[in-house]
Chains A and B, each alone.
Chain A
Amino acid sequence: MLSVLLLVPIIGAAIVAFLPMGESKRLRQFTAIIATLVFAWIVYLLTQFDLSNSGFQFSEYLSWVQPIGLSYSLGVDGLSMPLLALNGLLTWIAIYSSRGDIERPRLYYSLILLVNAGVSGALMAQNLLLFVIFYELELIPFYLLIGIWGGKKRGYAATKFLLYTAVSGLLVLAAFLGLAFLSATPNFDYNSITTEGLGLTTQLVLLTLLLVGFGIKIPLVPLHTWMPDAYVESSPSTAILLGGVLAKLGTYGLVRFGLQLFPETWSLVAPGLAAIGTVSVVYGAMAAIAQKDIKRMVAYSSIGHMGYILVAAAAGTELSVLGAVAQMVSHGLILALLFYLVGIVEQKAGTRELDVLNGLMNPIRGLPLTSALLIMAGMGSAGIPGLVGFAAEFIVFQGSFTTFPIPVLVCIIASGLTAVYFVILLNRTCFGKLDNETAYYPKVLLTERIPAFVLTVTILFLGLQPNWMIRWIKPYTTSVAVNPTGLQIAQVETQK
């Protein structure tokens, strides 16, 4: 069942690459149909997902290259299933929102489908080597997507992205090889790999390799410097996939391999991780406040919000891990909406400069609906109740507070800073008086609004009914938590 999520986009990419269809819009329609099929299959899997089962489901196994321990082993659990759904949705959004007149459309749409397959593969992989293959498979499509269809500094941004993330992949590979060899496991399958029997120092070294490797991908401060350039220079569609999907592989890796494989060592390094997460949150917010480019502002906001995930993962309680996964989904949706809307603003107004944009709320000559949705996305990012951002951040804070009260308090204060930079962004771009000299923006067509509507409705729906998000995550978090929650501690103390 899961192979469909790999085969359909890969075969689709091959068809698109050689399809004798020169017109970009028709190629986009065709690719969107493939993405829709993939997403529909994920929805079907969601309906078939056993919510009482904390283990892997829909498992598929094929011994592939046995001598090196590589197997084609797939499966999904409460950690990967929501992220698969996110990947499916955002791929459709990215395809649908691509420009109709994009150059080299065959290559472009093939690469997007390959990205989809790669991310799905990494999320479904049950073998460490298979994970690394899919993890690395992402690099080339993204490198090309940034380098060919990016902005003015696309070459620089693409190369920087490639170098950083290649190092990330190497570090992760090194950690996996070390883990397999040192623990003397016969293959790289998840169910065979264990850290039991490894010394603390060894575990620390291996975990550090993973932390740095995935830390680059997330990215965490101070490993983040590739990210603003890559996000800003990417086209909006690529930025949606970069921020909404690719970065999640980093946090996914941290939870799946760091927290799950090294539970005891994780507890040791957790305070440091919480500190790094908190620094990321504060730094991301402060840096976002200082930006003059709205896309760069959104990019830095992403660093901050990914910090919450690290703090929650570090806390390692059932609730905090639940919050971490929920925050991955929430952040992916909100960031995708922000990047999409910023892309609309840039496309229509011709600029992303805070000092130039003004009065976009003007109902006749401005971009009123885009502005309204931008406000909605800003509210979601700032954690306003009723939106998915609030639900996720609330669970993160509540779940992590008993373990790391001070970092959580700092994060709560920093979430207030989120409101600060979004108020700056919205006040300068959406409000005020539309300048006569510049206000000849083309109108936003209904078809251009659809992706924003889809994302907004999802953000609102999951905000009002977060159970629809966490019901798939909960079975997994119950099994993976390394620290007791505040409630559990209280229960234990009561029993004493």
Chain B
Amino acid sequence: MVQAIEKPKKPARIPASNHPHAEIIHRLEAGGSMLPESPENLMQIIGIYKAYAVPMDFYWRDLLYIAERVFLDPLPFFKYFLPQEYLDLPNHYAGETADYRVWQKGEASAHPELLEFMKTGEVKKDLPKIFHHLWHDRINMEFAEACMEAMLWHQGMGGQFNDYLESEEYIANADKAIKAFFRKNPLMLGLYKLFPEMFYEKVRQLSYYANLGLFWEVMAPVFFEMSDLYDEGKFKTVADAMDFLVNGIFIAAGRPIYHHVYVGDECYEIIPKSKGFMWLYEAALPYVEAVFYRTAPFRGTKSYNAQAEQVPDEQKDFHYGILYADVFPVGTAGIPPTLLMQDMYHFLPPYLVEYYQQYCRGEDDVLIQLGITFQRSMYNVTSAVIQALRTALLYPLDDPNPKHLMKNRAFFEAQMDRFLRPEARLRDIQSQDYR
């Protein structure tokens, strides 16, 4: 069982913040979340964590399957058709075989609701898999790939992982794997000879598949456990949920990030575990930065004109992630996650279904309502990341030294500066009426 982090007791007195988000900064300084404290918010975010975790259980397995098995298959038509081997792949944070059992009651193999959905889909008919696939009655891996692409594209977000992808050691490892993978395919080997960089770049992308898969392998059982704890009445506040996430982050922080490729029975270590790439710095933080904050303008009903400077010059200034997302426009598999909303919709807990029926257009706009709930929940996850970073890099919230608290304050204010731009939904989520 994960222990909740200690709450601040008697914080030293420091002057009130003058930041436009001062109220939220003060809440963070008191050990709270960016998401306001309310039973309704707690119910929403836990419900959506559960609904997110089920497709996430598919995402991480398929991401690893693509990175490890599909690899450079030039015609990967069936990359979303997860084999039983990967459905049974034991999660390292659930089940009897877990390295650390975060999800106490769950099994290490794929979630039962996921298996049921994969079998009968939304149409509730046990049809051949190809029909469910073509009818889009399936888990939409396109969302997971969009997240991976965001991480690949933004790259320089701290850590050593990305630099390693350019190293000679990585190229040598990739070379071995590529030659082994195409050993019976002279055409592809010939192409590799002619255009090696193209193949390396594709392998780098696959390394990000593995990276994201390993990240989500941790998050799925964390969310399942949170849902169970809430059902048992063990979560009383939004801050409780955030603290659980902070603890989860620290538990998994040192988990290795690697990329293995299997050709037959042989394993090729493109990024060996021994390189020491850690889950927190090489996967979690880049993921939050790339997916929650940055991503890219998506192809929805709102269009952006780069020539009219509607898109920032610098990638670091991009602000199209879920924390800024306008959930109303509908579009493709980009972010905001239209397809993720569709995936989560299949696994909503009954109390959340009932809740959505009461507001706005009920069933008709449930995707938007759950999208906005998802936005709230991701502000809570981001709060956990901010608190985790503060814990790792700065001072406790109840530090008796005012100078230390002022450094904490400066850190929180710097984080909140990112939400000053009008697109940020931080102000919106402060109101319960934002649905």
Identify the stretch in B80-88, B149-157, B343-351, B359-367 within 8 Å (CB) of chain A at 4 or more residues: B359-367
Are A436 and B428 in contact (CB-based, < 8 A)?
yes
| A104-B434 Cα distance, complex, nearest whole Å | 37
CB distance from B174 to the nearest CB of A (A): 43
Are A440 and B326 in contact (CB-based, < 8 A)?
no
| A440-B368 Cα distance, complex, nearest whole Å | 11
| A439-B371 Cα distance, complex, nearest whole Å | 15
Any chain A CB within 8 A of the CB of B27? no
Contacting residues of chain B (301-334) with chain A, CB-CB under 8 angstroms: 301-302, 326, 328-330
Residue of B nearest to A443 (CB): B361
Could you pull out 14 A-B pairs where Cβ atoms are within 8 angstroms? A362-B301, A363-B330, A364-B328, A364-B365, A365-B361, A433-B301, A433-B326, A434-B328, A434-B329, A436-B434, A439-B328, A440-B435, A443-B361, A443-B364
Contact partners of A439 in chain B: CB under 8 A: 328
CB distance from A349 to the nearest CB of B (A): 14
Residue of A nearest to B363 (CB): A443
Are A364 and B301 in contact (CB-based, < 8 A)?
no
Q: Using C-beta atoms within 8 Å of the partner chain, give the interface range for chain A.
A: 10 to 19
Question: Contacting A433 at CB < 8 Å: which of B302, B367, B368, B434?
Answer: B302
Are B328 and A362 in contact (CB-based, < 8 A)?
yes
**What 0/1 readout, one digit per residue, does chain B (400-435) give for beta carbons within 8 Å of chain A?**
000000000000000000000000000010000011
Residue of B nearest to A363 (CB): B330
Chain A residues packing against B (C-beta within 8 Å): 359, 362-365, 433-434, 436, 439-440, 442-443
Contact partners of B428 in chain A: CB under 8 A: 436
Task: Classify the interface of chain B: helix, strand, loop or mixed.
Answer: loop
Interface centre among B328, B368, B428, B435 (most CB of A within 10 A): B328
Contact partners of A363 in chain B: CB under 8 A: 330
| A442-B365 Cα distance, complex, nearest whole Å | 11
Contact partners of A364 in chain B: CB under 8 A: 328, 330, 361, 364-365, 367-368
Contact partners of B301 in chain A: CB under 8 A: 359, 362, 433
Residue of A nearest to B362 (CB): A443
CB distance from A370 to the nearest CB of B (A): 14
| A439-B365 Cα distance, complex, nearest whole Å | 11
Are A433 and B329 in contact (CB-based, < 8 A)?
yes
CB distance from B303 to the nearest CB of A (A): 9
Interface centre among A359, A364, A439 (most CB of B within 10 A): A364
Are B361 and A436 in contact (CB-based, < 8 A)?
no
CB distance from B434 to the nearest CB of A (A): 8
| A436-B364 Cα distance, complex, nearest whole Å | 17
CB distance from B320 to the nearest CB of A (A): 14
Are A365 and B326 in contact (CB-based, < 8 A)?
no
Q: A364-B361, A433-B329, A443-B361 are in contact. List 18 more A-B contacts (CB 8 A).
A: A359-B301, A362-B329, A362-B330, A364-B328, A364-B330, A364-B365, A364-B367, A365-B360, A365-B365, A433-B301, A433-B302, A433-B328, A434-B329, A436-B328, A436-B428, A436-B434, A440-B360, A443-B365
| A379-B193 Cα distance, complex, nearest whole Å | 60
| A363-B365 Cα distance, complex, nearest whole Å | 9
| A364-B331 Cα distance, complex, nearest whole Å | 12
| A343-B112 Cα distance, complex, nearest whole Å | 49
| A363-B300 Cα distance, complex, nearest whole Å | 12
CB distance from B407 to the nearest CB of A (A): 35
| A63-B296 Cα distance, complex, nearest whole Å | 82
Contact partners of A433 in chain B: CB under 8 A: 301-302, 326, 328-329
| A364-B330 Cα distance, complex, nearest whole Å | 9
Question: Contacting B326 at CB < 8 Å: which of A436, A442, A443?
Answer: A436
Contact partners of B435 in chain A: CB under 8 A: 440
| A362-B360 Cα distance, complex, nearest whole Å | 15
Contact partners of B364 in chain A: CB under 8 A: 364, 443
Residue of A nearest to B428 (CB): A436
Residue of A nearest to B303 (CB): A433
Closest 9 CB pairs of A and B: A443-B361, A434-B328, A364-B365, A433-B302, A364-B368, A365-B365, A443-B364, A365-B328, A365-B368
| A239-B428 Cα distance, complex, nearest whole Å | 39
Contact partners of B302 in chain A: CB under 8 A: 433
| A359-B328 Cα distance, complex, nearest whole Å | 10
Contact partners of B326 in chain A: CB under 8 A: 433, 436
Contact partners of A359 in chain B: CB under 8 A: 301, 328
| A442-B326 Cα distance, complex, nearest whole Å | 20
| A440-B367 Cα distance, complex, nearest whole Å | 14
CB distance from B193 to the nearest CB of A (A): 49
